[in-house]
Amino acid sequence: MTGHGARGRSGGRPTLEEVAARAGVGRGTVSRVINGSPRVSDATRAAVEAAVAELGYVPNTAARALAANRTDAIAMVVPEPETRFFAEPYFSDILKGVGAQLSDTEMQLLLIFAGSDRERRRLAQYLAAHRVDGVLLVSVHADDPLPDLLSQLEIPAVISGPRSEHETLPSVDSDNYGGGRSAVEHLIARGRTRIATITGRLDVYGAQRRVVGYREALADAGREVDERLIVPGDFTEEGGRRAMKELLARCPDLDAVFVESDVMAAGARRVLREEGLRIPDDVALVGYDDSAIARHMDPPLTSVRQPIVEMGRAMIDLLLDEIADRRPAVSRGLERRQVVLPTELVERDSS
């Protein structure tokens, strides 16, 4: 090793960035090697260790102490009542992906519901005590104070679906715009002319994006967007029922409905059956999520597949990177990462 190795290019002690540049990897990867993370290939570990030796890098002792003071636990926080968590396949699929990706690590997973004010206060106290290394936030409304609390506490966090196009936290989402668009393009190709939609809760950014996809698919096909054919839902079966009744009262001659969740589609289907309307002969139906509900519906439901299990896996990957990095997302400015996974229309007999 040459004598220059003990000094970085800056003339002082070599930095983590200089080790990363020498090894040809990112800063977070160097952090993972130094902190003993199993999520690094043997070849990468060897390259980083060689760069450390060549540069004479000595980890910052304060940072190492902080890294050692880990709880080896992360929390999956769901700002919803428990009943909704167990009623919607989306949540169990996210949990499946998270659990699978954590299985090779030493991390424990805590599942925390924060659907009431009391639960939120208790959660805030728990997080302020730094009982977990990081947080996965699932199903967050636009006005939820939890993401800002996590930023203030400098707790690494990843959100499932950004709150807006200006999201400051790292996030993982599916292509809601593309999913909504593909559903409507499919119905147009099937010759449907009066295509309605039952939206999700519109304080959720992903639900807003599905509606934009619906609108733009119609506009691009030269169709006028009829506002009477857009009715808000709430992602519940009962919400789907109410919205479908409202749509039939407004436009009894509609011939297709894009329902922006399979759970709501189940409610919509019941109303169509009660009204004596045949699916798909009279009204074509398309759902969203491609959950077990879609496959077991009669007739089986055409649905937009979100890669939900893969989203859970990607959330863990991002969070482990954040934990290894330790710098709060705010201090990294625009370096935050927004991962968007593709959707796919799965055609069945309902359309």
Helices 16-23 + 42-55 axis angle, to 10: 120
Nearest to 32 by CA among 49, 14, 18: 49
Q: Determine the pLDDT at residue 331.
A: 52
Asked if residue 299 has a cis previous peptide bond (ω within 30° of 0), the answer is yes
Nearest to 301 by CA among 242, 247, 254, 240: 240
Q: Determine the pLDDT at residue 8.
A: 46
DSSP for residue 165: T
Residue burial 248-265, b: 16+ Cβ < 10 Å; e: rest = beeeeebbbbbbbbbbbb
> Count of residues for the chain?
351
Residue 67 in this model has a pLDDT that exceeds 60: no
Residues 81 and 72: their CA atoms lie apart, in Å, by 26
Report which of residues 10 and 76 the model is more confident about: 76
Mean pLDDT for the chain overall? 88
Counting DSSP H helices and E strands in the chain, the numbers are: 14, 12
Question: What is this structure's pTM?
Answer: 0.77
Q: Which two tokens stand for residue 173?
A: 């989402």
Residues 55 and 2: their CA atoms lie apart, in Å, by 9
Q: Determine the pLDDT at residue 87.
A: 83
Lowest mean pLDDT among 12-21, 145-154, 233-242: 12-21
Q: Which two tokens stand for residue 191?
A: 């010759």
Residue 194 in this model has a pLDDT that exceeds 50: yes
Residues 283 and 190: their CA atoms lie apart, in Å, by 11
Residue 146 in this model has a pLDDT that exceeds 80: yes
pLDDT (average), residues 96-110? 90
Strands 338-341, 157-160: pairing is: unpaired
115 burial (CB, 10 Å; 0-12 / 13-18 / 19+) is middle
Q: Determine the pLDDT at residue 65.
A: 46
Residues 260 and 334: their CA atoms lie apart, in Å, by 31
Residues 157 and 118: their CA atoms lie apart, in Å, by 22
Nearest to 320 by CA among 167, 119, 168, 98: 98
Main-chain dihedrals φ then ψ at residue 230, nearest 5 degrees:
-115, 115
